[in-house]
Structure 1
Amino acid sequence: MSTPVSELPPHGEGPAGDAAVQEALDGAWPRDLPAADERELLAAGRDVLRADATGIGRAKWPGVFPRSGRGVAPAFGTGRFRVQAAIARRDGADGRAVVHLVWAGADRGGTFTDGRVSDWYFIRTVSRKGGSTWTPQPRI
């Protein structure tokens, strides 16, 4: 018997519907990472998504957002952007993970849409000193 998943809120519900979206994600894809890894991945995934959508913070990830001779205008404004829900889960082999994000934002034309979905993939990288971190991968 499968676990019932809550009904998703209607589009346009705003922040009031975000908890239901988070509950649906959690119910659809059970946790499979240590809590510390999950927290680190969720924070990084939100930051990478924000950098991708708004342009803010791209310099932190030169492998994901390489510098070019010309600037790229962000597709979404910072004032009307929010992550509605997010989960981090393993992606196949050890040392690989995906952060699945549901988000809302207003594009340059002013059209606000919620329920947008983005996946960011990460690999665990180990430093020479023995520590490790999760590194986002560029989109192909």
Structure 2
Amino acid sequence: MSALPPHGEGAAGDRAIQQALDAAWPADLNAVDERQLLTAGRTLLRADATGAARDRWPTYFARQETLAPAFATARFRIQAAIARQDGAPGRAVVHLVWAGTDRGGTHTDGRITDLHFTRTTPTHKEEEPAWIPQPGT
């Protein structure tokens, strides 16, 4: 496994973090599911951290409507991400490493967030299964 970059390395260290994640947790989802989960996970984390597009996830943010976003969108960056199975068929976790500057001006990288998803079953033949984020407890 490659060595992790020191904190504060900036975007230059993101590739090493991604390589470390990939080496630590080999892929176990098909490519389509992995892409869908990574896209959803990145979008959901950005919405959670910055407040941008929270309206796309009304069920997930139902209890958090009054919370102000903690991080500035301009200084928010996802450093690395992987999507893997989460112990049972139809369950997955998106593991994200990210950086951000909070409202007080403190920038921190190497923040870790795990977002859990369950797969829906289509109710009509023409529908595709979808991955639904599970609110944290």
TM-score by length of 1: 0.93
Structure 1: 5+ residue stretches without partners: none
From 109, 115, 118, the counterpart of 2:110: 115
RMSD: 1.2
CA distance in 2, matches of 1:90, 1:80: 30
Q: What's the CA shift for 1:61?
A: 1.0
The percentage of counterpart residues that share the same residue type is: 64
Is 1:132 the equivalent of 2:125?
no
State the secondary structure of the residue aligned to 1:121: strand
Structure with the largest fraction of strand: 1
CA distance in 1, matches of 2:73, 2:116: 23
State the secondary structure of the residue aligned to 2:27: coil
CA distance in 2, matches of 1:56, 1:139: 19
Look up the match of 1:66: 62
CA distance in 2, matches of 1:88, 1:43: 10
1:78-112 C-alpha deviation (Å, 9 max, x unpaired): 00000000000000110000000000000010000
Aligned residues: 135
**Pairwise mapping of residues 1-140 of structure 1 onto structure 2 (< 5 A)?**
5-66=1-62, 71-130=66-125, 131-140=128-137
CA distance in 1, matches of 2:96, 2:10: 16
Q: What's the CA shift for 1:67?
A: 6.3
Q: What's the CA shift for 1:62?
A: 1.2
Q: What's the CA shift for 1:128?
A: 1.3
After superposing on structure 2, the runs of 4+ consecutive aligned residues of structure 1 that deviate more than 4 Å are: none
State the secondary structure of the residue aligned to 1:43: helix
Give the counterpart letter for 2:26 in structure 1.
P
